[in-house]
Copies of this chain bind each other. A is one copy, B any other.
Amino acid sequence: MSRRRRVTLTDVAVRAGVSATTASYILNGRSAQMRISTPTDERVRNAAAELGYRPNRSARSLRTATTTTIGVISDFVASGHYASQMLTGASAAARESDHLLMIGETEGDAALEERLIDEMLERQVDGILYATLTTRQVTVPQALLQQRVVLVNCIDPGSDLPAVLPDELQAGRTAARLMVDAGITSEVYAVGEDPTPGALSGALRLEGLRYGLEEAGGALAGVIPCDWDVVPARDAVSQWLCSGRMPRGFVCLNDRVAMGVYQALSERRLHVPDVAVVSFDGSDLATWLQPRLTSIAVPYDEMGALAMHRLVEPEGAARDLLAVATVPMVVGWGGSLPDRRAALSRLV
C-alpha cells in the first residue's frame, strides 16, 4: 500500500553506520554478551525508532524455525461462551510470552480438520492447542502426534498427549454440598443425563454428585434424562412433575437445562427455592433467571491459559500428562474424593 519499501534491518544498520550483524545483535538484546559499546547501542536503537523498523518475521522464522505463533484447532469457536472463553484465556496467556494465536474451526469435519492442521503446520506454528466444545474423548489426527500439542477439554486415550480437563468430579461434589448446606439430602434429582458416546462431563458430574450426597448420608433420588437444552429440559421435567412426585431439589447438568426446569416448575406454580435448583456452567443465564440461579462455573478461561502455558513452557520440564483445572467455587474444601484419574479411566 505505502509506496515506500518496508524498512529492513540493513536500512537501520546503514543509518546507524554499523553492519547489519551489529544491528541484529543490538535489537535482539544481545549487546552485552556481544560487547557492543553503549554509544553504538543507542545509535542503532535510535535509528530503528526513527525509521519505524519492524522486523520481518518471515525471515526470522525461516532462519530460526520458530514463529512465536500457536495454532488453535477447535471443533466450534462460535458456539456459546465455552470455546470463546477458552480462547480468551489462551490468548491472554499467549500474550505473556509474545505469542499470537492462529485459529481454525473444524465444525466437526475430519477432512477440514486435517486441512487446517496442514495449513498451520505449513505456517510453522510452534505448537497446537486442540480443543473441543464438549468434554469428551477424541482421536487426534496422525499429523499431530509428532507435534507439540496440548489437548483442552478432551483426552486421547490412544496417545500420550498432555490434556487439560475441568474437574467435573469436584464440580459435582460441590453441587451436592450446596444441596446439603441447604438441608437437603433426599429427593434430589439430577436433570440431563446424556448418553452421548465419548462425553465425559455429565457422567463425572453425576458421579461427584452421588458421592457428595452419600458423603452426607443422603442419596441421589433419581435422574431425569434429556438433551442439554431449555426446551427438552422443560418438556421432560414438566412431564415428570405430572406424575405427582414432589422433589426437594434439582441438580441440572447445565444452565440451559436449569432454565427449562425453572419454566416447568413455574407452570405448576412451584417456586425456586422452595424447590432448590443448582446447575453447572456459571453462564450469564444464571444471573438472568429469577431468582438468580446457583451455578457452578467451569473455568474455561483458566483451562485455556493453563494449556497455553504448558504449550510454551520450556521443553523437558517435568509435568503431568493430565492437568485438571480447578473449579473456582471450590474453596477451603476438606475431605477426600475418589481419585480423579481413576474416575476418568473408568470412563474411557
Given the known interface contacts A100-B104, A123-B57, the answer about A78 and B81 at a Cβ–Cβ threshold of 8 Å is: yes
* Minimum CB–CB distance for A285 against chain B, Å: 8
B contact residues around A58 at 8 Å (CB): 58-59, 61-62, 67, 123-124
B contact residues around A123 at 8 Å (CB): 57-58, 67, 69, 100
A160-180 vs B: 1/0 string, CB under 8 Å?
A: 000000000000000000000
A84 and B91 contact, CB distance less than 8 A:
no
- Complex Cα distance, B98 from A105, in Å, reads 13
Q: Interface stretch among A114-122, A210-218, A272-280, A323-331?
A: A114-122
* Minimum CB–CB distance for A102 against chain B, Å: 5
B259 and A56 contact, CB distance less than 8 A:
no
Q: Which of A15-72 contact B (CB under 8 A)?
A: 54-59, 61-62, 67, 69
- Complex Cα distance, B57 from A304, in Å, reads 27
B98 and A88 contact, CB distance less than 8 A:
no
Contact of A146 among B2, B55, B81, B112 (CB under 8 A): B2
Copies in the complex: 2
Interface residues contributed by chain A, number (CB under 8 Å):
54
Starting from the known contacts A1-B146, A58-B59, A78-B81, 16 additional A-B residue pairs (CB-CB under 8 Å) come to A58-B62, A58-B123, A69-B123, A77-B84, A78-B84, A78-B301, A84-B84, A91-B105, A95-B112, A100-B102, A100-B119, A101-B102, A101-B103, A230-B287, A231-B288, A234-B290
Query: Would you mind naming 27 contact pairs between A and B with Cβ atoms under 8 Å apart?
Result: A1-B148, A2-B146, A54-B122, A55-B122, A56-B122, A56-B124, A57-B123, A58-B59, A67-B123, A69-B102, A77-B84, A77-B88, A77-B91, A83-B84, A87-B103, A91-B103, A91-B104, A91-B105, A92-B105, A95-B112, A100-B104, A100-B123, A101-B104, A231-B287, A234-B290, A259-B288, A263-B290
